[in-house]
Structure 1
């Protein structure tokens, strides 16, 4: 019994300190990252590129994620301040923003991947479909879709008191709770990363084919068609996009197995120690899933020459 209590205290201490000290640091890094990335991608020479517009939307989504879902998690887990327990409106707001912004930013990366597939296509007509008009329509359409798709959380979340002195903000028990569990696992944690991987590989494959030197024979002379400056910029944006996708997949990979393990535990006899362990793993996985929204500027600065060049120009100005 004493050993179980010690482990319980250790688990609580780990997740509390992770959010109490690591959370604010990650928030500051994320805010700086998003703001600087927005400054770079909204520069005149980049904002005419559809991929840069998608990355602008992505960083705006990241900021919203940091100051809604992530902030509430830090207050709740790290500082034991949870306004959702005392206000039904906050309870609705918490889950609505959690579902919305968790999937909104990755959706913009998927749109950016599709745009890179179009722009690197060997078919000229396909490349012409990558336009700013299509970009803005796609961003608005996807945003409206997810805004409406998660509106059910505003009506089916409640503040409950399952036992005396224990208040929780949760979903309606029964079918809706089961639906939310499987939706989170199948859509957010499996389908979205899988789409990113498939589309990312497709875009890279197109880019490699495009990089192949095309030899044109004219009257026994061979003319080598080199990449233009715009093609080089497209290549750099694809590199930035692939890094963002890779970071997202790596730091989100812990969540699906933890959620699946939690579903398995619900079919077994009640075990307090296992539930405490899975609670720790769930909160660590949640913290890890916030990292991709906070490090884009730093990874882009390290890997992309174009990005570093734009940052240096901003500093000089």
Structure 2
């Protein structure tokens, strides 16, 4: 029994240290990343691409998610400052912003991946559908949908007394808890990563087709065979493809632990230690936050165009 208590105490200490030390560092890196990215994507060389609009939207959603959801999370579980338990508005606001900006970030990234599918298509008409106007329409309508869809959290979350003198902000008991569990399972853990993977693979297949068709043998009247060069998509489009694919990979890798935890506890409910479940959820959540915070640094590493724009902006080169 004492060894078990010691193990649980070690888990508690580990998660506290992780959030107290790693939390502020992650937030600083994340805020810098989410501020730099939109500035770069609004530059003349990049802003003409519809993909830049989607990536700007992704970073705005990430910034808001870091500012509200991640900050509240770190304060509550790292520093034992849970503002959501003292005010009902803050309780509901926390859950609403967490759900909203989390799904908006993923939604915008899926839109960006769809745009890359259109751009890499071998069909000219399909490529022409990738427009800034379509980007604004998709972002606007999708944002409105998710804003309205998550309004339930503004009504069905409450401050509850789970023990004498101990309060927590949580979903209202009953069917709503079941709904949120299955929402996390089917939307967050299954549908979102599945769509990202599908569109990433689709884009890769389109690129492969384009490369195969770049040189098409043509027989002339004299019987000679010459190469007919088809114009591939532009260099900037290739850079945006790379950035979107890297974003998708980062998102899935950083969220995979949380996916496993969500799926496991939906299947094996009420089995195992509550403390271990809380620890796995906290660590999984912390790792998932990394995906919102490192976009800029990944772009600097993999994109020559992005590096040039950053140097030109901040180092006057």
Q: Which of the five TM-score ranges fits, normalised by the shorter chain? A: over 0.9
How many residue pairs match? The answer is: 312
Q: How far is 1:126 from its partner?
A: 1.0
Map 1:81-230 → 2, pairs under 5 A? 81-212=81-212, 213-215=214-216, 217=218, 220=224, 222-225=226-229, 227=231
Contact 1:41/1:52 (<8 A) preserved:
yes
Counterparts of 1:216 and 1:132, CA distance in 2? 35
DSSP-derived class of the 1:283 partner: helix
DSSP-derived class of the 1:169 partner: strand
Q: TM-score, normalised by structure 2?
A: 0.94
Map 1:60-71 → 2, pairs under 5 A? 60-71=60-71
Moved more, 212-221 or 80-89: 212-221
Q: How far does the alpha carbon of each residue in 1:9-30 deviate from its partner, in whole angstroms, 9 at most, with x for none?
A: 1111111111111000000111
Counterparts of 2:239 and 2:208, CA distance in 1? 13
Contact 1:161/1:168 (<8 A) preserved:
yes
- Show the counterpart of 1:303: 302
Contact 1:120/1:207 (<8 A) preserved:
yes
Contact 2:61/2:105 (<8 A) preserved:
yes
Q: How far is 1:151 from its partner?
A: 0.4
Counterparts of 2:291 and 2:162, CA distance in 1? 35
Contact 1:207/1:235 (<8 A) preserved:
no
Contact 1:84/1:169 (<8 A) preserved:
yes
- Show the counterpart of 1:279: 278
For structure 1, the 5+ residue unaligned runs are none
Counterparts of 2:54 and 2:81, CA distance in 1? 35
Contact 2:68/2:97 (<8 A) preserved:
yes
Counterparts of 1:244 and 1:312, CA distance in 2? 21
DSSP-derived class of the 1:316 partner: coil
Cα RMSD of the aligned pairs, angstroms, is 1.6
Q: TM-score, normalised by structure 1?
A: 0.94
